[in-house]
Structure 1
Amino acid sequence: MLNRGDFDYICRLVQERSAIVLEAGKEYLVELRLKPLLRDCGVADMGAFVERLRSDRSGTLQRQVVEAMTTNETSFFRDIHPFETLRRQILPELLRLRAGERALNVWCGAASSGQEIYSLAMLLREHFPELLGWRVRLLATDISREMILRCREGRYSQLEVNRGLPAAMLVKYFERVDMDWRLKETIRQMVEFREMNLAASWPGLPTMDLILLRNVLIYFDEATKRAILGRVHGALRGDGYLLLGGSETTLNLDARFDQVRLDRTLCYRVRGGDGGGRI
């Protein structure tokens, strides 16, 4: 069992390293997420594990704990409505607006295991063949080094591809590798993955036409949400789009965004169209 002192220590560690807040009552989640690390360390209980964690001078175990606690569940084409809105309205508009430049920049700020950005890559390849002649940059970032490495591999279990991925896309864009499925190179090479902490500085991030920051703000305190949205405002082109999770909003956090409903999806745009500066 995880006692209060050890739980508080892990909460402080995670918040200091990632700005993510673990609330009281999440002890069960902490134990569940850290159980594989206990096995790797060869310790029998949480008390012994936290004792080793406190004495971790190299920082390796601390980093592994933060990564374990900041990895969030995802799936292909999660909450399908935003992807339908992207296909029907947002992407056609962005292609029209960028026809002169023939360039499109998209950023997924919480890559997790990669399904969201790869879903978008398949959607672009499937429905917008004209982009083959464009400079398309799909960037996905995550705080977890382990997740970034996994994303680059593009390999998923049968259970993962069964969740949300149309069978036709599985056949068309994946190949079987042992008991798993791996995205074909034509899709993998469309995406650039980079390790990045949303709560820290964002070096080298270009201005974006579309930013996906879905189901991640909910893990931060209000001050961190405001700081992240402030940097998003600087990274989003004035006529670009920001997509958040269904339970997330910019309201009462940053007044420089307008909320726009397209079909069944809430999107956010820079108020006045003057938010296209760099961070």
Structure 2
Amino acid sequence: MSVSAQTFDYVADLVRTRSAIQLGPGKEYLVESRLAPLARERGMVGPAAVDAYVRDVRRGPDRGELTRVVEALTTNETSWFRDSAAFGALRTHLLPGLRAQRPGPLRIWSAACSTGQEPYSIAMTLLEAGETRFSVLATDLSTAVLAQATRGEYSQLEMNRGLPAPMLVRHFARAGAGWAVKDELRRRVGFAQHNLLQRPPPGPFDVVFLRNVLIYFDTTTKRDIVARVRRAMRPGGFLILGAAESMVGIDDAWERVTVTGGPVYRAPGGTP
């Protein structure tokens, strides 16, 4: 049974206000599935459990509980080397070009990093290419997913989602029934809480991964986010979007880079 219209409208408005993510008609199932575990934690079960939970939250607005609701609806699925062609493009095309012009350490930003698989995949890609002069900053709106990402601990099921066996052996160690990131990889990646609607973290960044994020926003918000990201990038740096995303209708100043690996754009103002 789906949530009531009143529940959906309240949650959609809360998520839009806090994160600018649009939950349009047809997303009722998502609200129900994501909030059902929070309802169970309060002992609410049955077909109307989510409605009861949201009514309870609305009666006594607790900042922490409101944050949990938003985080539950804005946390996305992830995996190791998701859309693997993007990592191949980083290794074979972007990295040589950057290194030809920039002798210093490279700085990479993984925005909306979820539980950490993307930034660790970026770091593994560079290490496997023999690159050691780099750092990765990974950010997300959700403090809950950042906590796991910072710990760098994953279950066997999570490890099975896209991680090649040789990389598992080289970059992870057994931790109970699961696995933990080894220190050499962990120290390459830093984590911080960040809302894409706010000022970006201090740059400049040579490469920004902003994948599978813009699709959740309206056009005006997309333009605002891209403008903020652009200000945080080094002139001529690279922006990598998700496979279904593009700059068309958002910002025509970016140069589309012809690579096998999805939408890659070069920031205006320089040639790496």
TM-score (normalised: structure 1): 0.92
Question: Counterpart in 2 of 1:107?
Answer: 109
| CA deviation string 1:70-94 (max 9, x = no partner) | 0000110111111111111101211
Paired with 1:4 and 1:191, the residues of 2 have a C-alpha distance of: 42
1:4-38 C-alpha deviation (Å, 9 max, x unpaired): 01100000000101111111111111111111101
> Aligned to 1:262, what secondary structure does the other structure show?
coil
Question: Could you say which residue in structure 1 is the equivalent of 2:194?
Answer: 196
Deviations 1:215-245 (A, max 9, x none): 0111111111010011112112112100000
Cα distance in structure 1, aligned partners of 2:245 and 2:5 = 30
Alpha-carbon distance between aligned partners in 2 of 1:182 and 1:23, rounded to the nearest angstrom: 38
Name the SS of the counterpart of 1:271 in structure 2: coil
Superposition pairs of residues 22-33 of structure 1, within 5 angstroms: 22-33=23-34
Instruction: Rate the CA distance shift 1:153–1:264 in 2: closer, same or farther, 3 A.
Output: closer
- Give 2:211's aligned residue: 214
Q: Does 1:252 align with 2:230?
A: no
Matched, 1:57 2:61: yes
Residues of 2 paired with 1:242 and 1:173: CA distance? 26
RMSD of the TM alignment (CA)?
Answer: 1.5
Range moving further from structure 2, 170-179 or 142-151? 170-179
Q: CA deviation at 1:184?
A: 0.8
Residue of structure 2 equivalent to 1:17: 18
1:247 CA drift (Å): 0.7
Q: 2:119 aligns with which of 117, 120, 123?
A: 117
Question: Which residue does the alignment assign to 2:75?
Answer: 71
Which residue number in structure 1 is paired with residue 235 of structure 2?
A: 238
Residues 245, 263 of structure 2: 8 Å contact kept = no
Q: Which residue number in structure 2 is paired with residue 4 of structure 1?
A: 5
Q: For residue 137 of structure 1, what is the aligned residue in structure 2?
A: 135
Number of equivalences: 268
More displaced stretch, 234-243 vs 263-272: 263-272
SS at match of 1:261: coil
Contact 2:110/2:139, CA 8 A, preserved across alignment: yes
Which residue among 157, 160, 166 is the counterpart of 1:159? 157
Give me the identity figure in percent.
44
- 1:76-125 per-residue CA deviation (whole Å, 9 max, x = no partner) reads 011111111111110121122111xx221100111101101000111122
For structure 1, the residue ranges without an aligned partner over 5 or more in a row are: none
**Post-superposition shift, 1:264?**
4.0
Q: Is the 8 A contact 2:236 2:269 kept in 1?
A: no
Q: Match for 1:121: what amino acid?
A: A
Distance 2:99 2:239 in 1: 16
Any gaps of 5 or more consecutive residues in structure 2? Answer: none
Maintained 8 Å contact 1:56/1:62 = no
Secondary structure of 1:265's counterpart equals coil
CA distance in 2, matches of 1:72, 1:53: 23
CA distance in 1, matches of 2:42, 2:187: 35
CA distance in 2 between counterparts of 1:201 and 1:87 reads 29
2:101 pairs with 1:97: yes
Look up the SS of the partner of 2:258 in the other structure: strand
In 1: Cα distance, 2:65 partner to 2:77 partner: 22
